[in-house]
């Protein structure tokens, strides 16, 4: 996974979290090569607005497809796989944050039935995992998109 997608400290952190029951890391593989991933955040959201308005909601985070494998439906498949799993586990809705300057991702989510919530953008913390182990926390405003499952 790290060989093709990099971000070793990020994946190490998410696998540790997954072991603790915090969420689930889904990875798309092609011929033994990891080409995309999404982390389904099942624990309480870090953002107070999300906790207050969508208590217990699952979040799709860090959806990414390797640049050389984009525009082939892998991002769509990852979102569908996450939704299918959540639905099977009894979740009624799913949410995510997307940067206002990310039209590719916004188009994808819109096509898949995600709609922006009416409460405005939310400040999120994006953690950048540097190769030397440093973690840098960056504040980022995001649009919140929600989809009812089932
Ligand atoms: C956003 C992202 C995950 C989308 O992944 P992807 O695999 O390219 O997504 P898809 O292939 O399912 O859809 C992308 C486009 O390819 C098109 N497509 C899908 N399958 C296709 C196929 N077989 N042939 C041609 N086009 C296809 C889709 O219709 C879509 O078109 P659009 O550009 O008009 O929206 C990817 O661009 C990415 O990793 N971006 C950087 C990280 C990021 O911003 N993540 C989102 C965080 S919120």
Interval 90-146: pLDDT, tens: 999 999 999 999 999 999 999 999 999 999 999 998 888 777 778 899 999 999 999
- Contacts of 7 by beta carbon, 8 Å cutoff, 6+ apart: 129
Topology (CATH level 3) of domain 2-148:
Aminopeptidase (3.40.630)
pLDDT for position 132: 78
The confidence band for 46, taking pLDDT boundaries of 50, 70 and 90, is very high
Interval 56-83: pLDDT, tens: 999 999 999 999 999 999 999 999 999 9
The confidence band for 89, taking pLDDT boundaries of 50, 70 and 90, is very high
- Contacts of 132 by beta carbon, 8 Å cutoff, 6+ apart: none
> 3-state SS of 32-98?
CEEEEEEEEECCCCCCHHHHHHCCCCEEEEEEEECHHHCCCCHHHHHHHHHHHHHHHCCCCEEEEEE
Ligand 1 neighbour 112 (Cβ under 6 A)? no
pLDDT for position 95: 98
Q: Which one-letter DSSP state was computed for residue 65?
A: E
Ligand 1 neighbour 64 (Cβ under 6 A)? yes
How is residue 73 written in tokens?
Answer: 């439906």
In this predicted structure, the answer to whether residue 18 has a pLDDT above a threshold of 90 is yes
- Ligand 1: nearest atom to the Cα of 36: 39
- Ligand 1: nearest atom to the Cα of 62: 47
For the chain, which residues make up each domain, given as ranges?
Answer: 2-148
Given phi > 0 = left and psi -120 to 50 = alpha, else beta, which region is 100? alpha
How is residue 107 written in tokens?
Answer: 């188009």
pLDDT for position 127: 85
pTM above the 0.85 mark?
yes
């Amino acid at each position: 996974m790290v060989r093709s997608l990099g971000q070793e400290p990020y994946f190490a952190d998410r696998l540790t979290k997954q072991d603790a029951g915090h969420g689930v890391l889904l990875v798309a593989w092609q011929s033994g090569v990891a080409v995309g991933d999404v982390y389904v955040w099942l624990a309480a959201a870090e953002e107070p607005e999300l906790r207050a308005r969508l208590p217990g909601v699952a979040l799709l985070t860090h959806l990414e497809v390797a640049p050389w494998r984009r525009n082939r439906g892998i991002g769509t498949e990852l979102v569908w796989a996450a939704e299918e799993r959540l639905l099977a586990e009894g979740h009624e809705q799913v949410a995510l944050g997307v940067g206002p300057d990310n039209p590719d991702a916004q188009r994808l989510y819109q096509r898949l039935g995600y709609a922006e919530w009416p409460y405005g953008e939310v400040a999120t913390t994006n953690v950048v995992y540097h190769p030397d182990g440093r973690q840098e926390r960056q504040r980022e405003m995001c649009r919140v998109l929600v989809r009812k499952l089932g």
